[in-house]
Amino acid sequence: MKKYLVIGNPIDHSLSPKLHNYWFEENNIDALYEKKQVEEIDLEKIISDIRNGKIEGINVTVPFKKSVIPFLDKTEIPEKIQSVNTIYREKKIKNSNKIVGTNTDILGFKNSLAQIKYNAKGKKIFILGAGGVTPSIIYALEEMKPSSIMLSNRTKEKAESLKNLFPQIEIVEWGHIKNFDMIINTTSLGLREKDKLPIDHNLIEPRKFFYDVIYNPKKTNFLFEAEKRGHQIENGKMMFVYQAQEAFRLFTIVPNIRSGILPSINKKVLKLLEND
Ligand code: ATR
């Protein structure tokens, strides 16, 4: 039986095992996907378990998306994005034991917008936060040619490091809101019920688009307040599902035979992710 893992710290909340195990079963693949809480010091050993065949593939979540990179043989990620969430043995070359890391968050975010037919072209985008997932989101957005990307983070230095990577972003003081078409919460504020982002809704014009990367809880305070005022809202559930779908495809590539299985996303799959 093939073994897969999602690693992170904390990891309890991860819904990846549910999703991937469902897809393995649906596709009659004899595999087991588990979650494992690890420390930084464990990363090298766990990744070497892919080389020796004990583990077939790994997904990586907070806070290790960057720290796994030195232990990989190669990465297939855009230079600016020092963030890996999917690790597996190289598939392009038969019997290769090279370990490759890639990023499926970028595609996950893009697909989540495509699915609801939101076109960011020419739009003013306002991003809150400068954490692990933020560069992937900026990268995806830049490809969509928005008219501007503004970014605000409590710790200004982190926003400034992102500006070094993406010079076209404009930094806005934390707590200030500029005119936007789409606002994206990439901070962890909202995970707890009492969390509140510093947004004065009275200053925001109607009919904007509020996107939260958080999907558990389903409706953060940020989305709840926006919906109450008639704005369009979207949580991070579909981004999560699409990044997992692409990871599954990569995991199931068979060299020279198939380019991976793109597993289904339907009502049943989405239901798996509820009530958790
Ligand atoms: P990491 O940076 O380790 O990847 P993350 O959970 O991906 O962590 O990102 C945390 C994000 O949420 C950061 O933008 C963080 O802001 P700081 O850079 O100032 O720490 C933001 N964040 C977390 N708690 C916050 C709070 N109480 N108020 C404002 N921003 C907060």
Which residue, by CA, sits nearest to atom 20 of ligand 1? 155
- Residue 175 Cβ inside 6 Å of ligand 1? The answer reads no
Rg (CA), the chain: 19
Give the SS3 label for residue 102.
strand
Which residue, by CA, sits nearest to atom 11 of ligand 1? 187
Which residue, by CA, sits nearest to atom 23 of ligand 1? 188
Residue 144 and residue 210: Cα distance in Å, rounded? 17
- Residue 69 Cβ inside 6 Å of ligand 1? The answer reads no
Residue 70 and residue 68: Cα distance in Å, rounded? 6
- List residues with catalytic annotation: 65
From first to last of its 276 residues, the chain has per-residue pLDDT tens of: 999 999 999 999 899 999 999 999 999 999 999 999 999 999 999 999 999 899 999 999 999 999 999 999 999 999 999 999 999 998 766 677 799 999 999 999 999 999 999 999 999 999 999 998 999 999 999 999 999 999 999 999 999 999 999 999 999 999 999 999 999 999 999 988 899 999 999 999 999 999 999 998 999 999 999 999 999 999 999 999 999 999 999 999 988 788 899 999 999 999 998 865
Residue 33 and residue 2: Cα distance in Å, rounded? 8
Which residue, by CA, sits nearest to atom 13 of ligand 1? 131
Residue 208 C-alpha to ligand 1 middle, in angstroms? 24
Residue 129 C-alpha to ligand 1 middle, in angstroms? 6
Which residue, by CA, sits nearest to atom 16 of ligand 1? 154
Q: Tokens for 261? A: 């299985």
- Residue 131 Cβ inside 6 Å of ligand 1? The answer reads yes
- Residue 8 Cβ inside 6 Å of ligand 1? The answer reads no
Residue 270 C-alpha to ligand 1 middle, in angstroms? 28
- Residue 63 Cβ inside 6 Å of ligand 1? The answer reads yes
Residue 239 C-alpha to ligand 1 middle, in angstroms? 19
HSE, side-chain direction, 13 A CA sphere, residue 149? 25
- Helix or strand (DSSP H, E) at 210: strand 209-212
Between β-strands 99-102 and 170-171, what pairing exists: parallel, antiparallel or unpaired?
Answer: unpaired
CATH of domain 106-235: 3.40.50.720
Which residues neighbour 15 within 8 Å (Cβ) at sequence distance 6 or greater? 216, 240, 272, 273, 276
Helix axes 105-115 and 237-251, enclosed angle (nearest 10): 130
What is the per-residue pLDDT for 255? Answer: 81
Which residue is listed with tokens 């010091």? 41
Which residues neighbour 52 within 8 Å (Cβ) at sequence distance 6 or greater? none
Residue 214 and residue 190: Cα distance in Å, rounded? 7
Give the SS3 label for residue 206.
coil
CATH fold of 2-103+240-274: Rossmann fold (3.40.50)
Residue of 53, 56, 52 whose CA lies nearest to 34:
56
Q: Is 106-235 the same fold as 2-103+240-274?
A: yes
Q: Which atom of ligand 1 is nearest to the CA of 128?
A: 14
SS (H, E, C) 123-136: CEEEEECCCCCHHH
Residue 185 C-alpha to ligand 1 middle, in angstroms? 11
Domain edges within the chain: 2-103+240-274, 106-235
- Cα dihedral across residues 212, 218, 221, 223: positive or negative: positive
Q: Are 260 and 107 in contact (CB under 8 A)?
A: no
Extended strands (E) in 2-85:
2-8, 31-37, 57-60, 74-76
Q: Could you tell which of 154, 185, 195 is best to mutate to test the pocket of ligand 1, judged by most ligand atoms within 8 Å of the CB?
A: 154
Residue 81 and residue 84: Cα distance in Å, rounded? 8
Which residues neighbour 262 within 8 Å (Cβ) at sequence distance 6 or greater? 245, 248, 249
End-to-end CA distance of the chain: 27
